[in-house]
Structure formats: C-alpha cells, structure tokens
Amino acid sequence: MTSEFELIARYFARPVAGDGVDLGIGDDSALLLPTPGHQLVVSVDTSVAGVHFPPDAPAHAIGHRALAVSLSDLAAMGAWPRWCLMALMLTETDDEWLAEFARGFHALADTHGVSLAGGDVTRGTLAIGVTVHGELPTGQALTRGGASPGDLIAVTGALGSANGGLAAWQAGLRDLADPLLAAYLLPQPRIEAGYRLRELATAAIDISDGLLADLGHVCAASGVGADIEQEAIPRDDALIERLGDTQALQSALAGGDDYELLIALPAERLEEARAALASIDVPLTPIGRFSRRPGIRGVPCDGPGGWQHFPGAAP
C-alpha cells in the first residue's frame, strides 16, 4: 500500500517544467514569482466522479479533463497559464490508476507550460479540485461584461459534441478515438485562442454549461440582449449523423461541457480574428449579434437552460 508521501513523490513531484517556481512540491507552501506588471488570474474547478465525469472513465482522461476544465476558465479571460495546484480525493490508492491519471494530467500541463506547484491528497469519494494561476498584463483581462449592442456573437470550434460524447458513453462506446467521446472526455482548453483574441474581442466566456446559459451570463454582465441565427451554430457532422438534426441542435444549445469560447467581437474585426486563429487551426463562427433589446431571441424559448447543480436556487 502506497503512503500519501510516496504517492506524491511517485506521481506528482517532478522537475518543475516552467519557470517562476522558487519552491514547488515538498514544503508547506509553494513560492511563485509572478511577472512584474502583470495581474494574477486565478480560478478553481472541482470535478466529482459520477457528477462531472464517469467514475470508470479512463484514468488518463480523468487527469486530463480535471486540468482542462480549469484551464478553460483562464482561456476565457485571455490569460496565459503558469501554475496549478491539485486537491485530489481518492477512494483508494491504485498504482495503475494513479500512474495513468498522472500521465494525463502532466501531459496537458506540459502542453500549456503549466507547473504543478503543490496540492493535497485525501481519502473520500473520487474528486479532483484544480486551482490554476495565469497571468495577464495588468488591466487587459477579457471579461463577461464588455459586449456592446451590435457586436457579433462568435464561437470557437463546434458545439454539442461533448453532449453527443456523453450520450455515446452512456450507450456503451469506449473508444476515445471517437471524435464525440474525445470532445467529452478529452476537451482541449482554448488557451492559445483566448490569448490571441484578447485584444480583438470585447467580452468572452467559456461554454461549460451550454451555449444559452453561458450567452445569458454575458448578456447579464454586459447589460445587452442577443439575436441568434440558429442555423449558423457550428455542429460536428458526426453529431448530426448520430443524433439527428433536432437533438444535435439541442445538444449545441444546452448540452454543456464543450469548453469552447464564446466572444463578443466588433464586426469589422471578424476577419482579423479569424486570421489570428487560422494558424492554430481553430475555426471562429459568428452565430448572431448582441442587441440593445434584453433577452435571447432566435432559439427555442422553452428549452432547458443549461446545466445547474442547484436548479431553482437564487440566480
């Protein structure tokens, strides 16, 4: 049986990848060196087995996904990620599982140059809380509150795929080469896209709860409404093929878990924004416009409002 300290040493303590870590794993706290003239951009997300991911998902995907959903929040601010902390709750210490979990986590961390600077391990129901620290030149954050009437509403990638992947998982599919299942279990945070859009977009959010719910957050924060062109919402061919047109649209509108970015963009900057994303192969699709009129129009108004842990609670 692996002790807590052996477990940390074996699976999580590594030579620090990026710079800016004066003292990492092994002491009571980490010592980090933020870049002068920058703001720290900090976010935390908890992934709970059976709530946010299937407990029997491949361990490397669980590790990847736990970090990806936190990094997605930095992407939505246009921030550059630097460090993270992991609070890991485990039911048991299974070496094979931990090795795979750590492999998935570290691989994504390396992709984005993020150093794991510390964490915590406890026993309980399987859950992973990941705190990420990014940086931005002071005052340059892309928030939810900057959209103006007339700005385009644009989204990266395709929507609904993760929801299609969830359906596929529930139907028994286990092949991670499947594009929908991969979208669900191995989401790619749009860090580079968010960074490139920071000076072009006026507002941004990551689509974690579903397009309508997250668009609603931007509208509320910016004091605007939205007109959507339903047919313009980008959806993967595989999703339409598998679920049919109506259900694919429903997945895109309210499915959640996509981790794409929704931005507000002055129309005259569309081509520049698309060009900025072309070299990283991220499509950017306008799906409507923000408006002075409150409310969201152009989509079914009686659809579900996106994922909520506490439906009916105060907004």
Least Cβ distance, residue 257 to ligand ADP (angstroms): 24
Stretch of residues binding ligand ADP (CB under 6 A), selected from 61-69, 114-122, 151-159, 275-283: 114-122
Largest CA distance in the chain: 62
- Do 117 and 25 meet the contact criterion of CB atoms below 8 Å apart? yes
Q: Which of 34, 36, 31 is nearest to 16 (CA)?
A: 31
Least Cβ distance, residue 191 to ligand ADP (angstroms): 21
Which residue sits closest to Mg ion, CB atoms considered? Answer: 120
Rounded-to-integer distance, Cα 273 and Cα 68, Å: 23
- Do 154 and 285 meet the contact criterion of CB atoms below 8 Å apart? yes
Residue closer to ligand ADP by CB (options 93, 247) is: 93
Stretch of residues binding ligand ADP (CB under 6 A), selected from 63-71, 112-120, 183-191, 217-225: 112-120
Alpha helices in the chain (DSSP H): 4-7, 59-75, 95-111, 161-170, 179-185, 191-197, 211-222, 237-243, 245-254, 270-278
129 binds ligand ADP, rule: CB under 6 A: no
Question: Which one of residues 27, 231, 268, 281 is an interface residue with ligand ADP (CB under 6 A)?
Answer: 27
271 binds ligand ADP, rule: CB under 6 A: no
Of Mg ion, ligand ADP, none, which one sits near residue 187, judging by CB under 5 to 8 A according to partner kind? none
Of Mg ion, ligand ADP, none, which one sits near residue 88, judging by CB under 5 to 8 A according to partner kind? ligand ADP
4 binds Mg ion, rule: CB under 5 A: no
Question: Which one of residues 16, 40, 89, 121 is an interface residue with ligand ADP (CB under 6 A)?
Answer: 121
123 binds ligand ADP, rule: CB under 6 A: no
Count other Cβ atoms within 10 Å, centred on residue 97: 17
Least Cβ distance, residue 185 to ligand ADP (angstroms): 21
Residue closer to ligand ADP by CB (options 65, 198) is: 65
120 binds Mg ion, rule: CB under 5 A: yes
Q: Which of 281, 211, 213 is nearest to 253 (CA)?
A: 211
Site for ligand ADP in 47-86 (CB under 6 A): 86
Whole-number Cα distances in Å, 4 to 67, 92, 131? 21, 11, 20
28 binds ligand ADP, rule: CB under 6 A: yes
Pairing of strands 152-156, 31-32: unpaired
- Do 223 and 212 meet the contact criterion of CB atoms below 8 Å apart? no
Question: Which one of residues 56, 120, 199, 229 is an interface residue with ligand ADP (CB under 6 A)?
Answer: 120
Residue closer to Mg ion by CB (options 6, 120) is: 120
Beta bridge partners of 52: none
